[in-house]
Amino acid sequence: MDYDKLLTLGTDLGRLLMESGAEIFRVEESVIRLLSAYGVRPQVFAIPNCLIVSITTPEGHPITRMDRIPAHGTDIELLERCNALCRQLCRELPPLEEAQRRVDALPEHPVNSQWLVLLGYGAAAAFFALFFGGSWRDGLCAALCGLAVGLCLLFGQWLTGSNMFLRTAVCAAVAAGLALVLVQAAGLGSHLEPVTIGSLMVLVPGMALTNAMREIMAGDIISGVNRTAEALLAATAIALGAAIPLVFQHLL
Protein backbone atom coordinates (compact mmCIF):
# COMPACT_ATOMS: atom_id res chain seq x y z
CA MET A 1 0.00 0.00 0.00
CA ASP A 2 1.16 3.51 -0.82
CA TYR A 3 0.96 5.20 2.59
CA ASP A 4 1.73 8.64 1.13
CA LYS A 5 -1.40 8.38 -1.01
CA LEU A 6 -3.40 7.15 1.97
CA LEU A 7 -2.21 10.11 4.05
CA THR A 8 -3.14 12.49 1.23
CA LEU A 9 -6.59 10.91 1.00
CA GLY A 10 -7.29 11.39 4.71
CA THR A 11 -5.90 14.93 4.79
CA ASP A 12 -7.87 16.04 1.73
CA LEU A 13 -11.12 14.73 3.20
CA GLY A 14 -10.38 16.45 6.50
CA ARG A 15 -9.59 19.72 4.72
CA LEU A 16 -12.91 19.62 2.86
CA LEU A 17 -14.72 18.98 6.14
CA MET A 18 -12.95 21.96 7.70
CA GLU A 19 -13.76 24.21 4.74
CA SER A 20 -17.44 23.23 4.95
CA GLY A 21 -17.59 24.42 8.56
CA ALA A 22 -17.59 21.04 10.32
CA GLU A 23 -16.96 20.80 14.05
CA ILE A 24 -13.43 19.89 15.12
CA PHE A 25 -14.47 16.59 16.68
CA ARG A 26 -16.24 15.63 13.44
CA VAL A 27 -13.14 16.36 11.37
CA GLU A 28 -10.81 14.42 13.65
CA GLU A 29 -13.16 11.45 14.05
CA SER A 30 -13.88 11.19 10.31
CA VAL A 31 -10.20 11.20 9.35
CA ILE A 32 -9.34 8.70 12.10
CA ARG A 33 -12.12 6.33 11.02
CA LEU A 34 -11.12 6.53 7.36
CA LEU A 35 -7.43 5.88 7.92
CA SER A 36 -8.07 3.19 10.53
CA ALA A 37 -10.31 1.37 8.04
CA TYR A 38 -7.29 1.05 5.74
CA GLY A 39 -5.27 -0.55 8.54
CA VAL A 40 -3.02 2.20 9.89
CA ARG A 41 -2.77 3.97 13.26
CA PRO A 42 -3.57 7.66 12.72
CA GLN A 43 -3.13 10.72 14.92
CA VAL A 44 -5.14 13.83 13.97
CA PHE A 45 -4.97 17.36 15.36
CA ALA A 46 -7.25 20.08 13.99
CA ILE A 47 -7.96 23.71 14.72
CA PRO A 48 -10.06 25.98 12.47
CA ASN A 49 -7.11 27.07 10.29
CA CYS A 50 -4.79 24.05 10.47
CA LEU A 51 -5.01 20.27 10.09
CA ILE A 52 -2.19 17.89 11.02
CA VAL A 53 -2.49 14.18 10.19
CA SER A 54 0.09 11.54 11.07
CA ILE A 55 0.08 7.80 10.41
CA THR A 56 2.39 5.00 11.45
CA THR A 57 3.05 2.28 8.91
CA PRO A 58 3.11 -1.41 9.93
CA GLU A 59 6.91 -1.15 9.87
CA GLY A 60 6.76 1.58 12.52
CA HIS A 61 7.65 4.47 10.18
CA PRO A 62 5.72 7.71 10.96
CA ILE A 63 4.49 9.97 8.13
CA THR A 64 2.98 13.39 8.79
CA ARG A 65 1.26 16.02 6.67
CA MET A 66 0.04 19.48 7.65
CA ASP A 67 -2.51 21.56 5.72
CA ARG A 68 -3.24 25.22 6.41
CA ILE A 69 -6.95 25.89 6.01
CA PRO A 70 -7.85 29.25 4.41
CA ALA A 71 -10.69 31.45 5.63
CA HIS A 72 -13.97 29.65 5.08
CA GLY A 73 -17.65 29.81 5.87
CA THR A 74 -20.30 27.12 6.22
CA ASP A 75 -21.46 24.79 3.45
CA ILE A 76 -23.96 22.27 4.80
CA GLU A 77 -24.30 20.54 1.42
CA LEU A 78 -20.58 19.88 1.16
CA LEU A 79 -20.50 18.77 4.79
CA GLU A 80 -23.23 16.19 4.16
CA ARG A 81 -21.48 14.89 1.03
CA CYS A 82 -18.18 14.56 2.93
CA ASN A 83 -19.87 12.64 5.74
CA ALA A 84 -21.65 10.32 3.33
CA LEU A 85 -18.48 9.66 1.34
CA CYS A 86 -16.46 8.96 4.49
CA ARG A 87 -18.94 6.31 5.58
CA GLN A 88 -18.99 4.84 2.08
CA LEU A 89 -15.20 4.62 1.87
CA CYS A 90 -14.94 3.01 5.31
CA ARG A 91 -17.53 0.44 4.27
CA GLU A 92 -16.27 -0.37 0.76
CA LEU A 93 -12.47 0.27 1.05
CA PRO A 94 -11.96 0.98 -2.68
CA PRO A 95 -8.45 1.32 -4.16
CA LEU A 96 -6.72 4.51 -3.08
CA GLU A 97 -6.80 6.00 -6.58
CA GLU A 98 -10.56 5.52 -6.80
CA ALA A 99 -11.10 6.88 -3.28
CA GLN A 100 -8.99 9.96 -4.06
CA ARG A 101 -10.97 10.56 -7.24
CA ARG A 102 -14.22 10.54 -5.25
CA VAL A 103 -12.82 12.95 -2.67
CA ASP A 104 -11.52 15.32 -5.36
CA ALA A 105 -14.96 15.34 -7.02
CA LEU A 106 -16.80 16.43 -3.87
CA PRO A 107 -16.63 20.23 -4.43
CA GLU A 108 -17.42 19.93 -8.13
CA HIS A 109 -21.07 18.91 -7.89
CA PRO A 110 -23.06 21.26 -5.63
CA VAL A 111 -26.67 20.20 -5.07
CA ASN A 112 -28.11 23.73 -5.24
CA SER A 113 -27.30 26.33 -7.89
CA GLN A 114 -26.10 29.81 -7.00
CA TRP A 115 -29.45 31.27 -8.03
CA LEU A 116 -31.27 28.99 -5.61
CA VAL A 117 -28.86 30.07 -2.86
CA LEU A 118 -29.66 33.70 -3.70
CA LEU A 119 -33.37 32.99 -3.39
CA GLY A 120 -32.63 31.48 0.01
CA TYR A 121 -30.95 34.69 1.15
CA GLY A 122 -33.94 36.71 -0.01
CA ALA A 123 -36.50 34.40 1.59
CA ALA A 124 -34.63 34.26 4.91
CA ALA A 125 -34.39 38.05 5.11
CA ALA A 126 -38.09 38.43 4.27
CA PHE A 127 -39.20 35.97 6.95
CA PHE A 128 -36.97 37.61 9.55
CA ALA A 129 -38.49 41.01 8.72
CA LEU A 130 -41.98 39.58 9.18
CA PHE A 131 -40.89 37.87 12.41
CA PHE A 132 -39.70 41.19 13.83
CA GLY A 133 -43.05 42.87 13.19
CA GLY A 134 -42.72 44.15 9.64
CA SER A 135 -45.54 44.29 7.09
CA TRP A 136 -45.61 42.40 3.80
CA ARG A 137 -44.12 45.48 2.15
CA ASP A 138 -41.27 45.38 4.66
CA GLY A 139 -40.82 41.70 3.90
CA LEU A 140 -40.50 42.51 0.19
CA CYS A 141 -37.89 45.19 0.92
CA ALA A 142 -35.98 42.82 3.17
CA ALA A 143 -36.05 40.17 0.44
CA LEU A 144 -34.42 42.62 -1.98
CA CYS A 145 -31.81 43.50 0.65
CA GLY A 146 -31.19 39.80 1.27
CA LEU A 147 -30.64 39.23 -2.44
CA ALA A 148 -28.12 42.09 -2.43
CA VAL A 149 -26.28 40.52 0.51
CA GLY A 150 -26.23 37.16 -1.29
CA LEU A 151 -24.80 38.77 -4.42
CA CYS A 152 -22.05 40.41 -2.36
CA LEU A 153 -21.17 37.13 -0.65
CA LEU A 154 -21.21 35.01 -3.81
CA PHE A 155 -19.71 37.40 -6.35
CA GLY A 156 -17.90 40.06 -4.31
CA GLN A 157 -14.69 38.13 -3.66
CA TRP A 158 -12.78 40.35 -6.08
CA LEU A 159 -13.49 43.33 -3.82
CA THR A 160 -12.92 41.90 -0.33
CA GLY A 161 -10.75 38.85 -1.02
CA SER A 162 -10.66 36.36 1.85
CA ASN A 163 -10.89 39.04 4.55
CA MET A 164 -13.90 37.91 6.61
CA PHE A 165 -14.19 41.15 8.57
CA LEU A 166 -14.16 43.38 5.48
CA ARG A 167 -16.56 41.11 3.58
CA THR A 168 -19.08 41.10 6.42
CA ALA A 169 -18.82 44.86 6.93
CA VAL A 170 -19.36 45.55 3.22
CA CYS A 171 -22.39 43.24 3.10
CA ALA A 172 -23.88 44.88 6.20
CA ALA A 173 -23.34 48.35 4.72
CA VAL A 174 -25.01 47.29 1.45
CA ALA A 175 -27.98 45.79 3.31
CA ALA A 176 -28.50 48.81 5.59
CA GLY A 177 -27.98 51.31 2.76
CA LEU A 178 -30.42 49.55 0.44
CA ALA A 179 -32.97 49.35 3.27
CA LEU A 180 -32.71 53.14 3.70
CA VAL A 181 -33.21 53.70 -0.01
CA LEU A 182 -36.18 51.33 -0.31
CA VAL A 183 -38.00 52.50 2.81
CA GLN A 184 -37.24 56.21 3.12
CA ALA A 185 -36.32 57.28 -0.40
CA ALA A 186 -38.54 55.03 -2.52
CA GLY A 187 -41.32 54.56 0.05
CA LEU A 188 -41.62 50.87 -0.78
CA GLY A 189 -41.50 49.76 2.86
CA SER A 190 -43.30 50.98 5.97
CA HIS A 191 -40.76 50.50 8.77
CA LEU A 192 -36.98 50.74 8.51
CA GLU A 193 -36.08 48.69 11.59
CA PRO A 194 -37.56 45.29 10.63
CA VAL A 195 -36.23 45.62 7.08
CA THR A 196 -32.71 46.38 8.30
CA ILE A 197 -32.73 43.73 11.02
CA GLY A 198 -34.17 41.09 8.71
CA SER A 199 -31.51 41.66 6.06
CA LEU A 200 -28.69 41.69 8.63
CA MET A 201 -29.82 38.43 10.24
CA VAL A 202 -28.52 36.43 7.28
CA LEU A 203 -25.02 37.60 8.23
CA VAL A 204 -25.20 36.62 11.91
CA PRO A 205 -22.66 33.81 12.59
CA GLY A 206 -25.04 31.69 14.64
CA MET A 207 -23.61 28.31 13.61
CA ALA A 208 -20.04 29.43 14.25
CA LEU A 209 -20.91 30.60 17.75
CA THR A 210 -22.85 27.41 18.49
CA ASN A 211 -19.93 25.26 17.35
CA ALA A 212 -17.57 27.38 19.45
CA MET A 213 -19.55 26.76 22.63
CA ARG A 214 -19.83 23.07 21.82
CA GLU A 215 -16.10 22.73 21.26
CA ILE A 216 -15.25 24.58 24.48
CA MET A 217 -17.52 22.24 26.45
CA ALA A 218 -15.97 19.24 24.67
CA GLY A 219 -12.48 20.31 25.71
CA ASP A 220 -11.26 21.72 22.36
CA ILE A 221 -10.37 25.03 24.00
CA ILE A 222 -8.09 26.40 21.26
CA SER A 223 -10.64 25.77 18.53
CA GLY A 224 -13.52 27.07 20.66
CA VAL A 225 -11.75 30.31 21.52
CA ASN A 226 -10.74 30.73 17.88
CA ARG A 227 -14.32 30.36 16.65
CA THR A 228 -15.65 32.61 19.43
CA ALA A 229 -13.24 35.38 18.43
CA GLU A 230 -14.28 34.92 14.79
CA ALA A 231 -17.98 35.21 15.72
CA LEU A 232 -17.34 38.34 17.79
CA LEU A 233 -15.41 39.92 14.93
CA ALA A 234 -18.25 39.12 12.54
CA ALA A 235 -20.76 40.72 14.92
CA THR A 236 -18.55 43.82 15.17
CA ALA A 237 -18.28 44.00 11.38
CA ILE A 238 -22.08 43.79 11.06
CA ALA A 239 -22.52 46.66 13.53
CA LEU A 240 -19.90 48.86 11.88
CA GLY A 241 -21.15 48.16 8.37
CA ALA A 242 -24.77 48.88 9.28
CA ALA A 243 -23.76 52.14 10.97
CA ILE A 244 -22.06 53.58 7.88
CA PRO A 245 -25.26 54.36 5.88
CA LEU A 246 -26.95 55.74 8.99
CA VAL A 247 -24.03 58.12 9.60
CA PHE A 248 -24.14 59.33 6.02
CA GLN A 249 -27.89 59.82 6.27
CA HIS A 250 -27.51 62.10 9.28
CA LEU A 251 -24.65 64.01 7.68
CA LEU A 252 -26.69 64.65 4.56
Give pLDDT tens digits for 56-90.
Answer: 887 778 889 998 887 777 778 888 889 999 999 99
Query: What pLDDT sits at residue 19?
Result: 87
pTM of the full structure: 0.75
Q: Is 141 in contact with 129 (CB distance < 8 Å)?
A: yes
Q: Is 230 in contact with 48 (CB distance < 8 Å)?
A: yes
Give pLDDT tens digits for 130-148.
Answer: 999 888 998 999 999 999 9
Give pLDDT tens digits for 100-127.
Answer: 999 998 887 666 677 888 888 899 999 9
Query: What pLDDT sits at residue 111?
Result: 60
Query: What pLDDT sits at residue 230?
Result: 84
Give pLDDT tens digits for 157-200.
Answer: 766 666 788 888 989 999 999 998 898 888 887 888 899 999 99
DSSP 88-137: HHHHH---HHHHHHHHHTGGG--SS-HHHHHHHHHHHHHHHHHHTT--HH
Q: How far apart are the first and last CA of the chain?
A: 70
Write the single-letter amino acid at 58.
Answer: P
Q: How far apart are CA 2 and CA 17, in angstroms?
A: 23
The pLDDT > 90 percentage for the chain reads 35
Residue 95 has pLDDT above 70, yes or no: yes
Using alpha carbons, select from 236, 223, 251, 249 the residue that is nearest to residue 24.
223
